[in-house]
A and B are shown apart, each in its own frame.
Chain A
Amino acid sequence: MSTAPTTQAPRPQQAADAALHTALSRSARPPRAGPLSAALTFGWRGMYKVKHVPEQLLDVTITPVLFLLMFTYLFGGAVAGSTSQYLQYLLPGILVQTVLFTCVYSGVALNTDITKGVVDRFRSLPIWRPAPLVGAVLGDTVRYALAATVVVLLGLVMGFRPAAGVGGVLAGMVLVIVFAFGLSWVFTTVGLLMRSPSAVLNAGFMTLFPLIFLSNIFVDPSTLPGALEAFVGVNPISHLVTATRDLMAGVATAGALALVLSEAAALTAVFAPLTVHLYRGKD
């Protein structure tokens, strides 16, 4: 806003001096914050950012929502015979797409903190060193849940009627969020390697887009040419979509779930330590 005042009205000098004196005279140092408390405080910070900058959440939700509307009503009839039948197939995939795009912002936020110097302050505090990272990723899971809820609600309005009911839908959402937790470590790693927040955003979207399209989100892979079908088959995003769909339809197998969970665990096992390592050794 161009009319924001640049300085405040002059304050009575004595009152100001007294207030400053009081503020400075408090010298008792509280006991150090524990690791969990510090991490949760960073999670709290993430929540407040969602509250103050809801656009960021909207940005990542709007594209998948447009996809959902467009694919359902434009191609649904052609691909699956009817729009309502296609919606049952598409919605779990759109849910995955939405939440995975939200993951990119974990890296963007971290990079923003570094370029703005906020990380320097955090790193100079006497706290558990990975707390800012762990807290941010925990806070991000709340964002994933919000994004997932938006998609599911929209689907229900459009006529999504999953066979497994509320329980199945919730289970599907939890699975997607767990996978997203693993994937967000990939983007925090990217966030520590790139020079600017927009570079992180571009790199993230450029990797995710092909993986999203070469998955079983939009079409049944058995209709694809052989090589493509093979790729879709090994794409972890396809595994996640299959498991989510099955959970919502009430036909999930332990094997499909175990595959997704182990992929999430593998991503976490590799990229969480890598993120922490890069974060500690920043310059």
Chain B
Amino acid sequence: MPSTLAIEASGLVKSFGTTRAVDGVDLAVPRGAVYGVLGPNGAGKTTVIRMLATLLRPDAGSARVLGHDIVAEADAVRGLVSLTGQLASVDDDLTGRENLILLGRLLGYSTREARERADELLAAFGLREAAGRLVKNYSGGMRRRLDVAASIVVTPELMFLDEPTTGLDPRSRNEVWDIVRALVGRGTTVLLCTQYLDEADQLADRIAVIDRGKVIAEGTPGRLKASVGQGALHVRLLGPEHRAEAARMLSRALDTDAQLDADPAALSVPVQDAERASEAVAELSRAGLGLASFSLAQPSLDEVFLALTGHPAEEEAA
């Protein structure tokens, strides 16, 4: 009976020395969607991916990927998934085209087919002009695109993506996102690890938040965000003299306490509803308090963490 789940993990544990990198993780990832794994540095995201991609053997617990046990049927799993690791795992000393031909050959294409496939992918990923250049001369965005291309030389059923946009500029990030969407559009399941709530929000249908090796929350992005509010309204006045009054007005308009920032002219208020926030800003401006700037920010990962765990997201001491 084929399971409707792409990944079912229960009680996964992995320790390195005395560090419990993954400490009892359960996951149920439906097929055909993007599943986000969100967590700060050192949370255990990469370790989870490495176990699911059969690179690491769990110390305890078990998992099935596309119906195959990750330990007993590791080879079958490898035949169905592909991994885009956290370090763009392409060969610096080869050209982009050679990298893709190498993988095509390893996956069973003939030399001619591997070349055709490489050219097709280079064109699709905007790397045609860079095809003959050594990868060590690529920009970060080009490397990442090549890395993703290398993962779909044979289109996988399930793709592991470990922080695919960390360090990329917004434009390159959007390109990677488009590729992920296109992949999912044709039926691939994607497990996406990220440190950015924004990225999980853009791409993922469901999110597991992990911290210190444990899943601390799971659900749709909407539900997770609702648990921490919509974010915050940040206001900066022309001078500090009216700040107290502005704080009073905002607190009243939004039914919650305003926080005074370190900047003596700035303050912020948690916001549940964007409409009410915009009315509150209009009110400030009508009152003539001298508005320098305002912005409505999404809750940061830090805020999500604070709300979910009661402690700020920080790298665990090794």
Q: Could you say which residues of chain B place their CB within 8 Å of the CB of A117?
A: 85-89
Q: Could you say which residues of chain A place their CB within 8 Å of the CB of B115?
A: none
A119 to B224, CA, bound (A): 36
CB <8 Å contact, A126 and B102: no
B298 at the interface (CB under 8 A from A): no
B90 at the interface (CB under 8 A from A): yes
**Secondary structure call for the A interface:** helix
CB <8 Å contact, B120 and A125: no
A161 at the interface (CB under 8 A from B): no
A14 at the interface (CB under 8 A from B): no
Q: Could you say which residues of chain B place their CB within 8 Å of the CB of A33?
A: 105-108
What 1/0 mask marks residues of chain B from 270 to 290 whose CB sits below 8 Å from any chain A CB?
000000000000000000000
A283 to B46, CA, bound (A): 13
What 1/0 mask marks residues of chain B from 57 to 88 whose CB sits below 8 Å from any chain A CB?
00000000000000000010011011101111
A-B contact count (CB 8 A): 140
CB <8 Å contact, A23 and B105: no
A41 to B18, CA, bound (A): 40
**CB-contact partner of A283 in B56, B81, B98, under 8 A:** B56
Q: A8 CB to closest chain B CB, in angstroms?
A: 6
Residue of B at shortest CB range from A34?
B108
B55 at the interface (CB under 8 A from A): yes
Q: Contacting chain B: which of A24-32, A164-172, A193-201, A258-266?
A: A24-32
A211 to B134, CA, bound (A): 37
CB <8 Å contact, B108 and A32: yes
Contacts A22-B120, A24-B155; is A45 near B91 (CB within 8 Å)? Answer: yes
CB <8 Å contact, B126 and A37: no
CB <8 Å contact, B108 and A31: yes
CB <8 Å contact, A45 and B102: yes
Contacts A32-B79, A124-B54; is A11 near B126 (CB within 8 Å)? Answer: yes
CB <8 Å contact, A8 and B53: no
A44 to B79, CA, bound (A): 23
Contacts A116-B92, A125-B78; is A30 near B108 (CB within 8 Å)? Answer: yes
Q: Contacting chain A: which of B178-186, B193-201, B236-244, B308-316?
A: B178-186
Q: Could you say which residues of chain B place their CB within 8 Å of the CB of A52?
A: 93-95, 134
A127 at the interface (CB under 8 A from B): yes
CB <8 Å contact, A124 and B82: yes
Q: Could you say which residues of chain A place their CB within 8 Å of the CB of B54?
A: 123-124
Q: Could you say which residues of chain A place their CB within 8 Å of the CB of B92?
A: 116
Give 27 A-B contacts (CB < 8 Å), ordered by A residue.
A7-B139, A8-B126, A23-B125, A23-B149, A24-B186, A27-B155, A27-B186, A29-B154, A30-B113, A32-B107, A32-B108, A45-B94, A49-B94, A113-B91, A117-B87, A117-B89, A118-B89, A119-B89, A120-B55, A121-B103, A123-B55, A124-B53, A124-B54, A125-B78, A126-B107, A131-B106, A283-B50
Question: Beyond the given A117-B86, A121-B150, could you list 19 further A-B residue pairs with CB under 8 A, ordered by the A residue number?
Answer: A5-B139, A8-B130, A19-B123, A23-B123, A26-B120, A26-B155, A29-B107, A41-B106, A44-B105, A45-B94, A45-B98, A118-B90, A120-B50, A120-B87, A121-B85, A122-B106, A124-B81, A126-B75, A283-B16
State the A residues within 8 Å of B (CB).
Answer: 1, 4-8, 11, 16-17, 19-27, 29-33, 37-38, 41, 44-45, 48-49, 52-53, 113, 116-127, 131, 282-283
State the B residues within 8 Å of A (CB).
Answer: 16, 50, 53-56, 75, 78-79, 81-83, 85-95, 98, 102-103, 105-109, 113, 117, 120-121, 123-126, 129-130, 134, 137, 139-142, 149-150, 152, 154-155, 169, 171-172, 178-179, 182-183, 185-186
